[in-house]
């Protein structure tokens, strides 16, 4: 048995998230498993580094798959891509040590969220950005973001209450203007359900003056979802990289 790591890029616009579902074939994991199984000639399970919601994109999602023997990586990858829709691509396949697991072996992730600040939305980027044409105080947003860096209980910033632990470590949050777009990059040990999107909505509320930078630290301490900001739409979010 041989374990392989796949690196995958996808446009999440047409899909109901990463995780396979019994009632639809519109999932990234389900389509990858179909392509991998047909290529190998036997049923395979593709384990992702984590779930992405419907509408969320990826440049560097990772997954692990266990094959019965060694394969020619480039040929296997090309055959998978022939079977996949054009908005899902396996961009790298790498033989790794047995025991590697895309989710359990990961030590961190990097996400980026894109905001379109133009008065009228960019029609060509509408599936990959959130149109938010309000005047934003970028300096205040970065101050609030800096207060989130470190190891904290982020219970206020998730919509899922069954988490075993809501403690996470954020290594960096970068708020930067690129032309008429705003990019927010998040690097951390891991992120909970809706966490990056809630953090983004909270920072946007700081930027447009609805809340102060200090209120973000208070929400963090209070651990109450009602004290955090709105849930930013999925389409602006991209999983950029998974760290091992």
Answer yes or no: is 174 within a domain: yes
Q: Are residues 6 and 75 in the same domain?
A: yes
Answer yes or no: is 63 within a domain: yes
Q: Are residues 120 and 157 in the same domain?
A: yes
- Mean pLDDT calculated for residue range 120-131: 95
| pLDDT above 80 (res 161) | no
Locus of tokens 């009632």: 23
**What residues contact 56, with CB distance under 8 A and at least 6 apart?**
12, 17, 234, 235, 237, 238, 239
Q: Are residues 155 and 220 in the same domain?
A: yes
Answer yes or no: is 131 within a domain: yes
Q: How far is CA 163 from the centre of its chain?
A: 18
Under the banding of pLDDT at 50, 70 and 90, the label for residue 25 is confident
Helix axes of 213-222 and 138-146: crossing angle, nearest 10 degrees: 30
111 is in an annotated binding site: yes
The mean pLDDT of the chain is: 96
What is the tens place of the pLDDT at every residue in 131-142? 999 999 999 999
What's the residue count for the chain? 244
State the CATH number of the domain containing residue 67. Answer: 3.30.70.580
Answer yes or no: is 204 within a domain: yes
Pair type for strands 57-67 and 237-243: parallel
Percent of the chain scored above 70 by pLDDT?
A: 99
Q: Which entry of 11, 25, 53, 224 is annotated as an active-site residue?
A: 53
Q: Is 147 a catalytic residue?
A: no
pLDDT of residue 162: 67
Q: DSSP 3-state assignment of 200?
A: helix
Pair type for strands 57-67 and 2-10: antiparallel
Q: Which two three-digit tokens encode residue 139? A: 């300096």
Kind plus residue range of the DSSP H or E element containing 138: helix 138-146
| Whether 195 contacts 158, CB under 8 Å | yes
Q: Are residues 64 and 120 in the same domain?
A: no
Residue 174: beta bridge partners?
A: 185
Q: DSSP 3-state assignment of 26?
A: coil
The domain tally of the chain equals: 2
Domain residue limits at 43 = 1-93
Backbone dihedral angles phi then psi of residue 89, each to the nearest 5 degrees: -130, 135
| DSSP assignment letter at 24 | B
Q: 242, 118, 134, 136: which is closest to 184 by C-alpha?
A: 136
**C-alpha span between 63 and 18 (Å, rounded):** 11
What is the tens place of the pLDDT at every residue in 101-120? 999 999 999 999 999 999 99
What is the tens place of the pLDDT at every residue in 167-199? 999 999 999 999 999 999 999 999 999 999 999
Q: Are residues 45 and 73 in the same domain?
A: yes
What is the tens place of the pLDDT at every residue in 31-82? 999 999 999 999 999 999 999 999 999 999 999 999 999 999 999 999 999 9
**C-alpha span between 240 and 186 (Å, rounded):** 10
What is the tens place of the pLDDT at every residue in 204-244? 999 999 999 999 999 999 999 999 999 999 999 999 999 99
Answer yes or no: is 137 within a domain: yes
| DSSP assignment letter at 206 | H
Q: Are residues 70 and 166 in the same domain?
A: no
Answer yes or no: is 100 within a domain: no
Q: Which two three-digit tokens encode residue 221? A: 């301490």
**C-alpha span between 165 and 178 (Å, rounded):** 35
| DSSP assignment letter at 195 | H
Q: Of the candidates 28, 60, 93, which is a domain's last residue? A: 93
Q: Are residues 127 and 202 in the same domain?
A: yes
């Amino acid at each position: 048995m041989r374990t392989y790591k796949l690196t995958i890029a996808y446009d999440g616009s047409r899909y109901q998230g990463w995780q396979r579902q019994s009632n639809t074939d519109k999932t990234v994991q389900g389509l990858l498993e179909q392509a991998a199984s047909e290529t190998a000639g036997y049923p395979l399970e593709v384990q992702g580094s984590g779930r992405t919601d419907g509408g969320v994109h990826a440049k560097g999602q990772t997954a692990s798959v266990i094959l019965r023997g060694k394969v020619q990586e480039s040929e296997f990858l090309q055959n998978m891509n022939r079977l996949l829709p054009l908005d899902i691509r396996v961009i790298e396949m790498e033989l790794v040590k047995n025991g590697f697991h895309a989710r359990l072996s990961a030590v961190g992730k990097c996400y980026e969220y894109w905001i379109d600040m133009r008065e009228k939305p960019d029609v060509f980027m509408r599936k990959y950005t959130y149109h938010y044409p309000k005047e934003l105080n970028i300096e205040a947003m970065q101050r609030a973001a800096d207060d989130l860096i470190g190891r904290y209980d982020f219970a206020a910033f998730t919509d899922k209450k069954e988490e075993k632990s809501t403690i996470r470590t954020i290594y960096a949050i970068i708020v930067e203007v690129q032309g008429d777009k705003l990019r927010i990059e998040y690097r951390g040990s891991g992120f909970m359900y809706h966490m990056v999107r809630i953090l983004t909505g909270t920072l946007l509320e700081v930027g447009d003056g609805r809340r102060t930078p200090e209120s973000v630290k208070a929400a963090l301490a209070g651990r109450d979802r009602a004290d955090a900001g709105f849930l930013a739409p999925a389409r602006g979010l991209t999983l950029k990289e998974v760290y091992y």
